[in-house]
Amino acid sequence: MNDNVKHFQIYLIFLSVTAFFSCKQGTKPDVSGIDLNIKIERFDRDLFAGKQKGIPQTDVFLQKKYTAFYDDYVHQMVGTPEYDNATILSTLYKDQAYTDLSRDADSVFKTMEPQEKALTETFKYIKYYYPQVKVPKFIAFISGFSVQTPIGDDYMGIGLDMFLGKDSKYYRAIVKSVPLYISRRFTPDYVVPRITETFAREELFPQRDENRSLLAKMVENGKVLYFMDQVLNDQVPDSVKIGYTDKQLSWCKAYEGDIWAYFMQNNLLFETDFQKIQMFLSEAPFTPGLGEKNESAPKLGIWIGWQMVRKYMTENPKVSLQQLMAEQDAQKILNGAKYKPKMEP
């Protein structure tokens, strides 16, 4: 029997936790006329209820109701293609860890009405700016920490076991796969920002291979964060959008000029060496070489890119969101932003 199914609780297939973002950026458009009412389907509950109904009946029911998601769930998230659905369901149902995790997820998410309301608001804004966008189905599930927000054929998944709250007992058990500086963001507050970011990055604005310099990547990421400013509720704090602690965000604001000076003095903006620029774009507890006593924030290239894009849009009020997102000339954004933050005295 495949280990992914057997040892349900302690493994990680794929996790890309990057950034979550927003701030007050003027007044938002009126989207009250857009007809949308998002509901989150509770696959997690339907699957768990199947324990009492018999595997053949449950398998047929889940196939019919969840189609492509169910196939991806069984053969990619918790199992592999060489095992049939019945074998994988049987293995899950016998696993106490699956039962415990299901009950914990159900108790944290007794209802998902807050998330449904927030997703409806956010996707109304997305539809306002991009009317042709097809809003996916949203499906809640647990997978033993396999994946957090997968995108598939007409669906987006919400891995509830990766939003249980930072103090969940499970996250200390998987610390070798998921460090605590990442799992501290596994809270219900992150569901909608994480979904929004994933949809933006994967569906709307996929990364371009030719954008190899640090400046290009800063602007590319900054545009995604600015997009999230426009479509997330204004109450979502910047710290949640980018995944910082309050202390890290305060550090960035205090030393914005110094961070920018560091990039300039070390000729980093046009650096294309992957190893050299990754430390300014990747998840980490802090950025080596900046700040004292490991107080610096990670992903400084992304944060500075976000501030640069915000400044560009302030300086160029006639540029629409759609024009910004389509612009691929990072140098144009840099020049148009007149970005020169002051250093700390």
What mean pLDDT is predicted for residues 201-214? 88
What mean pLDDT is predicted for residues 202-209? 89
φ, ψ dihedrals at 40, nearest 5°:
-95, 120
User: What's the token pair of residue 310?
Assistant: 């915000």
pLDDT classification of 287: cutoffs 50, 70, 90: very high
- Looking at per-residue confidence, does 289 or 281 come out higher? 281
CA-nearest of 269, 39, 257 to 139 is 39
**Does the structure show a pLDDT above 70 at 83?**
yes
pLDDT in tens, 12-57: 333 333 333 333 345 799 999 999 999 999 999 999 999 999 999 9
What's the pLDDT score for residue 26?
52
**Does the structure show a pLDDT above 90 at 290?**
no
CA distances 124 to 134, 157, 297, Å, are 11, 19, 33
**CB contact at 8 A, 240 and 29:** no
What's the pLDDT score for residue 344?
60
Rounded to whole angstroms, how far apart are CA atoms 106 and 42? 10
Query: Treating both helix axes as pointing N-terminal to C-terminal, what angle do 113-129 and 191-199 enclose, rounded to 10 degrees?
Result: 30
**CB contact at 8 A, 304 and 256:** yes
pLDDT classification of 5: cutoffs 50, 70, 90: very low
What's the pLDDT score for residue 27?
79
Task: Spell out the residues 6+ positions from residue 180 whose beta carbon is closer than 8 angstroms to its own.
Answer: 171, 172
- Looking at per-residue confidence, does 60 or 17 come out higher? 60
Q: Regarding beta strands 155-159 and 151-152, do their DSSP bridges make them parallel or antiparallel, or are they unpaired? A: antiparallel
Whether pTM exceeds 0.75: yes
In this structure, of 20-24, 25-29, 180-184, 217-221, the range with the lowest mean pLDDT score is 20-24
Which residues of 94-209 form beta strands (DSSP E)? 137-141, 151-152, 155-159
What's the pLDDT score for residue 208?
78
Sign of the CA dihedral with 193 first, then 258, 214, and 312 last: positive
Rounded to whole angstroms, how far apart are CA atoms 13 and 267? 36
pLDDT > 70: what percent of the chain? 91
For residue 270, the SS3 value is coil
Tokens 């479509």 correspond to what residue?
231
Greatest CA separation found in the chain? 70
Q: Cα(first)–Cα(last) distance of the chain, in Å?
A: 63
For residue 159, the SS3 value is strand
What mean pLDDT is predicted for residues 238-246? 96
Provide the phi-psi class of 288: left if phi over 0, else alpha when psi is between -120 and 50, else beta. Answer: beta
**Does the structure show a pLDDT above 60 at 238?**
yes
Provide the residue count of the chain: 345
**Which H or E element spans position 57?**
helix 55-72
What mean pLDDT is predicted for residues 262-271? 94
Amino acid at site 336:
G
pLDDT > 90: what percent of the chain? 84
In terms of DSSP H, where are the helices of 232-326? Answer: 238-242, 246-254, 256-265, 274-278, 300-315, 321-326
**CB contact at 8 A, 148 and 194:** yes
What's the pLDDT score for residue 289?
84
What mean pLDDT is predicted for residues 261-288? 93
What's the pLDDT score for residue 291?
82
Q: Whole-number mean pLDDT of the chain?
A: 90
What mean pLDDT is predicted for residues 80-92? 92
Rounded to whole angstroms, how far apart are CA atoms 221 and 107? 35
The alpha carbons of the chain give a radius of gyration, in whole angstroms, of 21
**CB contact at 8 A, 257 and 341:** yes
Q: How many other C-beta atoms can be found within 10 angstroms of the C-beta atom of residue 227?
A: 25
What's the pLDDT score for residue 6?
36
Number of helices and strands (H, E) in the chain?
17, 4
**Does the structure show a pLDDT above 60 at 8?**
no
- Looking at per-residue confidence, does 292 or 222 come out higher? 222
Q: Regarding beta strands 40-42 and 137-141, do their DSSP bridges make them parallel or antiparallel, or are they unpaired? A: parallel
**Does the structure show a pLDDT above 90 at 80?**
no
**Does the structure show a pLDDT above 70 at 324?**
yes
